[in-house]
Every structure is written in structure tokens, then in C-alpha cells.
Amino acid sequence: MDDTTRRRFMGTLLAAPVLAGLAPALRASGDDDAIIASAAEALDVFDFERAARAKLPPAHWGYLKTGVDGDATLRANESGFANYSLRVRRLVDISRIDTSVRLFGTTWPSPVFLDPVGSQRAFHADGERASAKAARSRKHLQILSTVSSTGVEDVNAARGEPVWYQLYPTDQWPLAQALVRRAEAAGCPVLVLTVDLQGGSNRVTLARAKRRDPRECAACHTSSPRLADEIASKPMFRGLDLRAVEDLAPPGMNWDYIRRLRDAWPRKLVIKGLVTREDALITVENGLDGIVVSNHGGRAEDSGRASIDSLAEIAPAIAGRMPVLVDGGVRRGADIFKALALGATAVGIGRPYIWGLASFGQEGVERVLEILQSELVGNMRQAGTRNVAEIGASYIVDRRRA
């Protein structure tokens, strides 16, 4: 039995209720593929990935797992960090480590933030509230998706302060205005406009997973092919006229549209989804406040290019003129360190904290954040960097050019 087959077998075995009693014995045996029974048992974020896969229905797992087309960009995100090695220094006093970063006047104890992930109640009954409570407990920045399964007001209450709000404006400007006004009224300090889905998203892995799911899903959400029907149940769209909606992102969205949105939003405006130097420089020219370098976790385009490589192109061009955040494929503290060394101001995670959410709710999310933070601190100590400001280009080597 090869490793892949063995992992699948073990996951199926431990997920079966009739055999659940075997889990403690298997864990005690030291089997690396055993599924953890509590968040505290997790040694890295991949422990939560196995647990989430065992718990989630096939279609829900497929939604979380999918990339676009053949998943080439998703795989590139995950493998791209291996192209960079760390240059570590010795004999530095590392008795005190400071991981704090400052974004738009707010100091965060960690550079790790929670990316916007929609429909979180598909993974746990407490959904975005559990994630918000974990972000509050661990003091991390959180960005809320437009297609969340919990309204921004309730998420803010669970978080204890307003979150950043990610915007899918739709192809109807009056709806975009309504969403912006609601985020403003809720006190959200930053609007994060996603711009990487204008070309659509052919999610083949998700489509295949749906075929393997025998459940009747109509009780939870519509199976209608119309986007308007699909988003009608989302709290942020309730009470709005959705009859004309065909796209979450306007196909005609351009820089004139961005300027129009800039006029409609009185606070900080960040663009999420840029992957090239040219677009980043236009963002500066248009007076926006920040960038999230992102390919939507490999779910936006079939470029096969890693987010970390896009960051390496964009950050030097921005040259500190605005915050540059990044996400995509972050699984280890070393990944976070590498992103910071390449010029990121903060580093986002998506799938890992949802694995934690699906596995153990708020406690799982907290443990994911704790693990990544601990790994980051460990890497900072190993490299001889005492604070985030000291993590620079001299601490990293592109192995392809070394």
C-alpha cells in the first residue's frame, strides 16, 4: 500500500463512527496519519487538514480544496515557498522577540491575519462568529467576506471591534453602494475590494466533489444556477434587489470604477488580487491605501504562478509607499518569515484556519493561530531577527538564482 493510499485508508477508518473508539489506540501507536481528537493534540496545521477532511461532507471539502481548472496555481502557491531559503545569522541576542506590525494606525501583535473566506457555516455551525472569537482571543486582524454566512454586525460583536470588510461589488452599482454603506455604518475601518474574479472561476475540483456528495442540499442552500438565487440567503444581501445580478465582480470593472468606489468610501481602501508590478504601480498612482497580493488561493486564474513570486515582484516596486499584504499557500511559520523578508507588511491565511474551524470550531482556529505564531517566533530566533522590521531581503535566498 503506497503512502497516498494508506493516508486515505486511515482517514476513512478514523472517520467511521463505528470505529471511532480505535482512534486513541492509533494515536498512541505513533501513526503520523492518525486523526487528532482535540485541538491541543495538533503539532502543525496539517493535523487540522486531516481532521477537517474526515469531518466535512464531500462537497464542502471540495469547496475548500478546489483551485481553478487543473489546480496548477493552487499547487504553485503551496510549493512556491520552497524556492526560497533562509540565510540565518548567529550570536545575536534573541532573548526578546517582537512580532508586532502596524497597519493604518493600529498595532497588531502578529503579522498573521485571517483572510476573507465565505460561507463558514458550511464548515462549522458557529461559522464566522467562531473565527471572530478566535481572532479576538489571539489578537489577530480579521477580514470578513461579502458572502459570509453571518452579517458584519454580528461578526463585529463577536470580534469585539469592527473587522475589515472585503467587497464583492456585484455588477450592479446600487448594490455596491448598499454594501459599502452597511460596512461604513458597522464601523469597518478598511474596505478590501477583490478584483481577481472578473474572468470567472472554473472550479473543477469542486464540481467533481459535488458529484460524489449524495446529500440533499436544498435545506441549506439553493442549487439554482442563477447567482442571484445563490447569494439571496447571504446575510449581507438580504433585503436587496438581486434580480439583475449576474456576477459578483463587474466584468467591466476598471480603474475608473476604482476611482468611483474611492469617492463612495470615506476610509481606507485596499485592492486584493493584484499579482504584477504594473498594476501595483497604478494602484499607487490612483491614491489607494494598500494592496493584497493574491491569486485567491489559487482559485482565480490558471497562471501557475505562486503568490510569493508575485510578492517578490511587487514589493520592490511599491518601495514602502503603502502596505503590501500577501496570501496564498502559507502553511508554516517559515512561510510567514519568507513573505516578510520579501517585503510583506502582513501575511494572510485562509484554508489553515478553516481546517481548524471545521475540526474544532473556535478552539481549532485559535490553535492554528497559536501554531503559526509559535513557528514564526522560532524562525525569527533561528535567523537572529528580533523584530519584524529586521526581517529583510538579506535573510532570504532565491534558490533558482543562487
Residue 371 Cα distances to 60, 162, 362, 365, 376, angstroms:
25, 25, 14, 10, 9
3-class secondary-structure state, position 291: strand
140 is catalytic: no
Q: How far apart are CA 379 and CA 381, in angstroms?
A: 5
Q: How far apart are CA 381 and CA 388, in angstroms?
A: 11
Q: How far apart are CA 402 and CA 310, in angstroms?
A: 19
Helix 127-138 with 351-360: angle, nearest 10 deg: 110
Strand 290-293, strand 112-114: pairing: unpaired
Q: How far apart are CA 318 and CA 281, in angstroms?
A: 7
DSSP classification of residue 270: E
Q: How far apart are CA 167 and CA 245, in angstroms?
A: 15
Q: Which of 60, 124, 140, 296 is catalytic?
A: 296
Q: How far apart are CA 48 and CA 33, in angstroms?
A: 11
Q: How far apart are CA 365 and CA 367, in angstroms?
A: 5
**Letter string b/e over residues 346-381, b meaning 16 or more CB atoms within 10 A of that residue's CB:** bbbbbbbbbbbbbbbbbbbbbbbbbbbbebbbebbe
User: Nine-digit cell at 366?
Assistant: 485559535
Active site residues: 296
